[in-house]
Amino acid sequence: MTNNSIDNLLEGNKSWVRNVTKMSPAFFQDLAKGQTPEYLWIGCSDSRVPATEITNTLPGSIFVQRNIANMVIHTDSNVLSVINYAVKVLKVKHIIVCGHYGCGGVLAAMSNNKFGFLDNWLMHIKDVYRLHEGELDGIDDLEERGRRFVELNVVEQVLNLSRISFIQEEWEIGEFPYIHGLVYSLEDGVLHDLEISVNSKDGLHTVFQYKNVK
């Protein structure tokens, strides 16, 4: 018995390999030698927001971590390991947190609905709501409130990144990595820069600023 759905993917792969090889015969041999991506992307798992396609970049360009609602949670050893490798070994110059309007995770966190096991993950997003409830509660239109919540969630994840001690260590010795917050619009495919880039711990609450102990 064949599984048609998987066959679709395998056939798609074959034609992709053919197309890429036609355009660039040494593409795979070159990439197989190693990766030197300039970017780390922390995005949502949503199938509609694939990092390389929407930025028109090729394999090898972006180191990627995706999870529900593009979260940076300091007890999540998965995301922290990805960030650590990207910063310490790959020496990426830019870390991008990319949210997207209409994010199911963010909208679920805004609601009072139960989602079972997922509630534990969504709790971290609810914490973002609590931090910004003055502003968010002031937006009567629920769709508009959801859009602002998506943006504020990206802002908080950028802050979460800048609180990581091994990122602050990099800033002690150089200017990289820069951390950026972007939001993707599903309706038109456009990425919006929230213009909150940071590469220093200076703006952080002092309790999050690490100092080197002599």
Please state the closest distance from residue 95 (CB atom) to Co ion, in A: 18
Q: Which is nearer to Co ion, 105 or 177 (CB)?
A: 105
The one segment of 59-67, 74-82, 99-107, 186-194 that binds Co ion by CB under 5 A: 99-107
Sheet holding 39-44, edge to edge: 62-67, 39-44, 94-100, 178-184, 191-193
Amino acid identity, position 209: Q
Residue bearing tokens 């260590």: 169
- Contact flags string 114-143 toward Co ion, x per CB under 5 A: ------------------------------
CA 142 to chain centre: 24
103 has catalytic annotation: yes
Contacts of Co ion in 134-193 (CB under 5 A)? none
48 has catalytic annotation: yes
Strand 94-100, strand 39-44: pairing: parallel
44 has catalytic annotation: yes
Please state the closest distance from residue 127 (CB atom) to Co ion, in A: 17
Please state the closest distance from residue 146 (CB atom) to Co ion, in A: 11
Residue 44 near Co ion by CB under 5 A: yes
Q: Which is nearer to Co ion, 58 or 186 (CB)?
A: 186
Q: Which is nearer to Co ion, 87 or 107 (CB)?
A: 107
What tokens appear for 73 in the block? 């949670």
CA–CA gap between residue 128 and residue 70 (Å, rounded):
13
Q: Report which of 138, 136, 162 is spatially closest to residue 151, judged by C-alpha positions.
A: 136
CA–CA gap between residue 14 and residue 16 (Å, rounded):
5
Pick from 42, 82, 97, 103 the residue near Co ion by CB under 5 A.
Answer: 103
The one segment of 18-26, 57-65, 105-113, 143-151 that binds Co ion by CB under 5 A: 105-113
Using CA atoms of 135, 139, 140, 144 in order, give the dihedral in degrees to the nearest 10: -140
CA–CA distances in Å: residue 52 to residues 37, 41, 56, 152: 12, 10, 6, 24
Please state the closest distance from residue 53 (CB atom) to Co ion, in A: 16
Please state the closest distance from residue 68 (CB atom) to Co ion, in A: 7
Q: Which is nearer to Co ion, 71 or 87 (CB)?
A: 71
Give the binding site for Co ion (CB under 5 A).
Answer: 44, 46, 103, 105
Q: Which residues are catalytic?
A: 44, 46, 48, 100, 103
